[in-house]
Structure 1
Amino acid sequence: MAKQGPGRATSRKTTPAKPKAGKPAAKLKPPATVSPAARLFGTDGVRATAGEESLSPLNILRLGRALGRYLCSFTKGAERPVVLLGVDPRPSADFVGTTLCAGLTAECCDVHWPGMMSTPEVAYLTKHGPFAAGVAVTASHNPASDNGIKIIAKDGGKLPDAVERELESAMAGQDAEAPALPAKGRFGWLQLSRERHYEEFIVRTFRASFANLARKPLRVVFDNAFGARSIDLQVVSRLAKSVTLGRTSPQLRTGMPMSTNEELANNVLDIFYLNTASPSQPEQHHQINAGVGSLHPQACAKAVKELQADLGVCFDGDGDRCVLIDETGAVRDGDFMLALLAADLKAAGKLKGDTVVSTSMANFGLEAALSALGLKLLRTEVGDRFVREAMKSGGLVLGGEQSGHLIIADEQHDIGDGLYTALRIIEVMLDSGKKLSELCAGLTKYPQVIRNVRVSHKPDLHSLRHVVEARREAEKKLAKSGRIVVRYSGTEPLLRIMVEGKDPGLVESVASAVEAAARKELA
């Protein structure tokens, strides 16, 4: 297979490296015990219980070697690719990170590890810095016992499927036992400027517009889910009038004031932080996503109402997505965010192609709301990588998932970023003078149910007779008034069943029938 270069592969110099013409990929030894057909990558990188299955020490080491050898195949002479590695604050971060580094450095890569860093920051720095690739060690919204590896290409996006396949094949060709690996590369640490480039980008993007749109300050509650967004306190504080650090809802009134910002002539944000992890307090690392964050927005909703805040923002563990809470305490997911941003971009003449990209899971209410504005909805497979690919191929600027993983593309930024998304929506609120509930009023959701069935394996869905029959019967009952999507999660051991329609009773009964069939065959 002809290789597609990952971008600049550099040592300490930042001279772009080009692959040698006709240079073949380095060959690893024939397969020993690992099947070449085995899939390691899901819809969002590698993910598993830390230390087990895909994230066993040997598999992590193999992946590091395969990635290192792949990157080195595009260098020339004594050049060595530099890989940026960031982690979220879960207990297994050091285990996964150092094991991966052992494989990378053994294959002549230099690794720079700045510590805790959100996935969007890794992606931004990879795209704009002297890095051949980036790695985010994170399991995103999964519990603390899980971990994962997201590999970021030079353009800031996920690796193409063909490259993931190539890495899997290379891993399958390695020895069954871990060999002695001389460290040919260097292991370095990024210090001082570790977050400044991303921080400066965020501040530069929003400071002027926030000041120009000065009104009564918006009170915003950020729920960091004890995750990687905890490191962004300094970033947001530079845009805020005041920042208060709290922990959980009962302690809101006694939260610790962190700072008062006098930099701006017109301060437009009062920030209150919840569930913020500290690198110096490892006991908090077991709390990542535990009853907090984007999958559990109830605590943030309670805080919004208690503080009489204008907005709540709930991140996931690695900070690439968010869900919002309006001033009434109602949860506003990615469908609502896409609808209001599409309306704003359309009014400004900036929505290219009059098209928004989302996935098969997007509520039909989003499609109806966009249609009322004269806009189209383009659906893709589930996964932000598919959304981004569709946006790039069509030259589109807005896309995302119901989960809150949005991409708002411009020349500087075209990656999923929960903080960037939240700040863009705050900008719309300031510009319009409207409450979030008012901005979301144009979308009325169809009744939708999502059921999850935990599975121990993932056989082809077409081979599951009871599930196939239940789905066929569901489609008959829903007819043209609804739809059903049955798919395996690409990040968790789950079968997801989504049923949507006009009749809520029918939606519930159909979902229950398909769920029962799935449990009979898979649970």
Structure 2
Amino acid sequence: MSRTYFGTDGIRGRAGTGAMTAAFMVDLAIAVGTYFKANAQTRRVVIGKDTRRSGYMLENALTAGFTAAGMDVFALGPLPTPAVGLLTHSMRAVLGVMISASHNPHYDNGIKFFGPDGFKLSDQIEHEIEALLASRAFDVDPDHIGRVTRVNEAPSRYVEYAKTTVPDRVRLHGLKVVLDCANGAAYRAAPKVLWELGAEVIAMGVSPDGYNINKGCGSTSPEAAAQLIRDTGADIGICLDGDADRIIVLDETGAVVDGDQIMALLAGRWAAAGRLNHNTLVSTVMSNLGLENHLAAQGITLVRTDVGDRYVVQAMRDGGFNLGGEQSGHIVLTDHATTGDGLVAGLQVLAMLKDSDEPASRLTQVFTPVPQILENVRYAPGTDPLKDAAVQDAIAAGEAELGREGRLLIRKSGTEPLIRVMGEGPDRNDLARIIRTICDKVSAV
């Protein structure tokens, strides 16, 4: 059963249009508040946000809707997404809300919901919320309007918790770290955590103005951080995205270390220490074949899921696994967090670097990736290129040519009107030709 508003990771769109309007947010909050009020003993909801200017509009609209539904709102202010999951549970809230479009530009925004356990909502609950929203089977009782409380100490709570995820014996003295906070939600908390753990922190992306989130910085644009590493002689770089639930590491040369390499590093170290539950790593269909081959050689099982960290988390919970993530940099450590946490994942890498005699370039290059190409093709609303016969024929021809030595993965984005065309194979030139042919057919629809 398809959903009208919820996508791969909550609800997302261009601010001021569609679902990202103040009017819709009021109705959404009343519906969500009504649902949780009927299915829980408490009426607390916590709301965090990143640094987008539109966050003010959406936060106030959501607050109006939740209080109208009789929910008590605790406003956390700018805070990373994983911190909202943490505080939802620790503050005994029945619901957590994060206002963010993650790595998207400032003109987009989105809403992510967390249940009372701090984990993102299931597909089933999202279906039930959408049905309630469509039926408008909710009323506002003037005798039971909720209250609003601003939680000024929320960032400090997260800072102190993040520091506990590093072993007591490990301190980061002597490490020079470039930290790019993407002008986003972690711009205050992340530099404080690293500095208090002893690192020399060279921070960038810490001057948000409401419009510069992810702009030329952060995990999706690491070039400026890479140059800063080379200019300052830093040992390593940590690049977060707008809501700090994903990470890209840069070594001392400025080279990018993606989520697959980070997961390989953590899985190998944790398995050797007996910390990797069931000797299994969970990742998505996007992870490189080289990662799978490397893990198999170590006797570590790779479980693949659909794209989206919520599906990774669900598989981890179902199987009792404690390490998972995505190539894009969502690293999920359920010993410490209920969703991807870029800062906490980065701390694990920094702790390993501190304990190692190797530079970051050696520590983090764990396996040799199979050539992989990913292209995004925008499509017009109302069309479905994946049902087009010419597109299907191009995909079939590509799969036949790659055979067992490679693979194709073509899918719709869950957050944007894009067809994502990904392929892996032994020869990059042949692979590029196959991908280009499919993209051309998609563009022609």
Q: Normalised by the size of structure 1, how large is the TM-score?
A: 0.81
**Structure 1 runs of 4+ with >6 Å offset:** 178-181
Give the corresponding residue for 2:241: 316
Superposed CA offset, 1:159-180 (max 9, x none):
00000011111111129xx998
Give the corresponding residue for 1:480: 404
- 2:205 corresponds, among 275, 278, 293, to 275
| Alpha-carbon shift at residue 61 of structure 1 (Å) | 1.8
Amino acid at match of 2:74: H
Q: Is 1:407 aligned with 2:372?
A: no
Give the corresponding residue for 2:32: 67
Give the corresponding residue for 1:425: 349
Give the corresponding residue for 1:447: 371
| Alpha-carbon shift at residue 433 of structure 1 (Å) | 2.6
Superposed CA offset, 1:243-300 (max 9, x none):
xxxxxxxxxxxxxxxxxxxxxxxxxx2111001135xxxxx21110112111111111
Corresponding residue SS for 2:200? strand
Corresponding residue SS for 1:227? coil
| Alpha-carbon shift at residue 507 of structure 1 (Å) | 0.8
Give the corresponding residue for 1:22: none
Give the corresponding residue for 1:102: 64
Superposed CA offset, 1:463-520 (max 9, x none):
2222211111111111111111111111122111001100101110011001001111
- Distance in 1 separating the partners of 2:289 and 2:101: 29
- Distance in 2 separating the partners of 1:105 and 1:397: 36
- Distance in 2 separating the partners of 1:498 and 1:205: 35
- Distance in 1 separating the partners of 2:49 and 2:337: 21
Ranges in structure 2 where 5+ consecutive residues have no aligned partner? none
Question: 1:116-515, aligned counterparts within 5 Å?
Answer: 116-174=78-136, 182=142, 184-206=144-166, 208-211=168-171, 217-232=174-189, 233-240=191-198, 269-278=199-208, 284-410=209-335, 412-457=336-381, 459=383, 462-515=386-439
- Distance in 2 separating the partners of 1:329 and 1:37: 42
Q: Which stretch has the larger CA shift, 52-61 or 389-398? A: 52-61
Do the aligned partners of 1:105 and 1:183 also contact (CA within 8 Å) in 2? no
1:155–1:461 Cα change, 3 Å? farther
Question: How well do the aligned residues superpose, as a CA RMSD in angstroms?
Answer: 2.0
Give the corresponding residue for 1:85: 47
- Distance in 1 separating the partners of 2:389 and 2:90: 50
Do the aligned partners of 2:180 and 2:239 also contact (CA within 8 Å) in 1? yes
- Distance in 1 separating the partners of 2:274 and 2:139: 58
- Distance in 1 separating the partners of 2:399 and 2:289: 16
- 1:51 corresponds, among 16, 22, 43, to 16
Ranges in structure 1 where 5+ consecutive residues have no aligned partner? 1-35, 241-268, 279-283
| Alpha-carbon shift at residue 371 of structure 1 (Å) | 1.5
Do the aligned partners of 1:107 and 1:183 also contact (CA within 8 Å) in 2? no
Corresponding residue SS for 2:290? helix
- Distance in 1 separating the partners of 2:238 and 2:405: 33
1:343–1:458 Cα change, 3 Å? farther
- Distance in 2 separating the partners of 1:465 and 1:478: 20
- Distance in 2 separating the partners of 1:413 and 1:104: 26
- Distance in 2 separating the partners of 1:428 and 1:324: 13
Q: Which stretch has the larger CA shift, 140-149 or 99-108? A: 99-108
| Alpha-carbon shift at residue 204 of structure 1 (Å) | 2.8
1:292–1:181 Cα change, 3 Å? farther
| Alpha-carbon shift at residue 41 of structure 1 (Å) | 0.5
Corresponding residue SS for 2:179? strand
Superposed CA offset, 1:72-97 (max 9, x none):
10246xxx511000110101001111
Same amino acid, percent of matched pairs: 37
| Alpha-carbon shift at residue 130 of structure 1 (Å) | 2.1
Paired residues in the alignment total: 444
Please tell me whether Structure 1 or Structure 2 has the larger radius of gyration of its CA atoms: 1
Q: Which stretch has the larger CA shift, 186-195 or 310-319? A: 186-195
1:478–1:207 Cα change, 3 Å? closer
- Distance in 2 separating the partners of 1:436 and 1:183: 60
Q: Normalised by the size of structure 2, how large is the TM-score?
A: 0.95
